[in-house]
Structure 1
Amino acid sequence: MNSFRHRHLSVLGLPALVLLITAAGCSSADDSLSTAVPSPDAKVTELCRKLDKVLPAEVDGERRADPSPASALTAGWGDPAIILRCGVAQPPKMVDPEVAEGRDADAVPGGVEGVDWLMEKQDGGAYRFTTANRDAYVEVTAPEGHDSSGVLIDLASAIKKAVPERKTL
């Protein structure tokens, strides 16, 4: 059973996400200004193009500076860069019962400003966040020195505006 589909995310919410980020600490992610561009289907690509048009000029106080190669499916802010990739594949942890039941310390579901996320601790201490319950998966990597909860808050409005919630039966 996919617990993301059933809205168990709201239990944790922003306070738990902030606590986990603060307690675990952060370290540098890849500092390069290059990132892999996802290759989703046409429907998701159109949603990602819409998202690109409404993304904020600043995230966590950093100005937008997109990575190369230039694409409407990727965006970046700051140095080291906060990287957004739209149209990524669903993370395997998103359907893992260990995560849904809170037994995986390296992957935690939560919600911030009306957007559901899967938070995954990466090697080296960086964090990757992937949207859940949306018609496109949006991945955000926040390196050391950035307030991850602030990053998610800054991006929430654009995501809600451009990427509809997935309709469930």
Structure 2
Amino acid sequence: MSHRFALRAACACSLLILAGCGGTVRVDPPTPDPSVAAACEALVKGLPETLDGAGRVDSAPASPYVAVWGEGEIALRCGVPRPVNMAATDQVPVINDVAWFSAPSLPTLFTSVGRQAYVEVTISRAHTPEKVLVDLAAPIKAALPQTG
């Protein structure tokens, strides 16, 4: 396993660490390229207040590129790097016109691809990934145009 892959896996796991019982969830915020930062901010502002029955909560540190629902059950980070383990030949499922890459080794981590920015979503096993990804499709399409 490469060091970068291990680092990415550790980062994905850290998304769901609770910062306390007050509803604030610790999420490492991404540092998007300046060319996509405004689009990521628009995406996060346009996200729903609930996903698959989980209400939106605050994250720490606060970031305009992060959204969290439930007690860290679902976390979204916009402006992340391209998945290091994604090959050009990988087939990715498309849900409501948004393509999602998911490595078999990280079954709860999904990354939207083929858009102005990469959006990473971690979904706990308490939720149905397809339902969450369907609900995220419209705001992603509205904020992040397709590329290529």
TM-score, normalising length: structure 1: 0.70
The answer as to whether partners of 1:122 and 1:128 remain within 8 angstroms in 2 is no
Q: 2:81 aligns with which of 63, 85, 89?
A: 89
Q: CA deviation at 1:119?
A: 1.4
Q: 1:70 aligns with which of 52, 62, 68?
A: 62
Residue 144 to residue 31, structure 1, CA distance change in 2 (3 Å): farther
Q: 1:146 aligns with which of 113, 117, 127?
A: 127
Structure that is richer in helix per residue: 1
Aligned length: 128
Moved over 4 A (4+): none
User: Counterparts of 2:44 and 2:108 in 1: how far apart (Å)?
Assistant: 22
Residue identity in the other structure for 2:16: D
By relative contact order (CA 8 Å, sep 6+), the higher-ranking structure is 1
**5+ long unaligned stretches in structure 2:** 1-14, 19-24
Alignment of 1:4-153 (within 5 A): 30-32=16-18, 33-95=25-87, 97=89, 99-100=90-91, 109-122=92-105, 126-153=107-134
The answer as to whether partners of 1:31 and 1:81 remain within 8 angstroms in 2 is no
**5+ long unaligned stretches in structure 1:** 1-28, 101-108
User: Counterparts of 2:16 and 2:88 in 1: how far apart (Å)?
Assistant: 26
Q: Secondary structure at the match of 1:39?
A: coil
Q: 2:138 aligns with which of 154, 157, 162?
A: 157
Q: CA deviation at 1:94?
A: 2.3
RMSD of Structure 2 on Structure 1 (CA): 1.7
Greater CA radius of gyration, 1 or 2? 1
User: Counterparts of 1:78 and 1:157 in 2: how far apart (Å)?
Assistant: 20
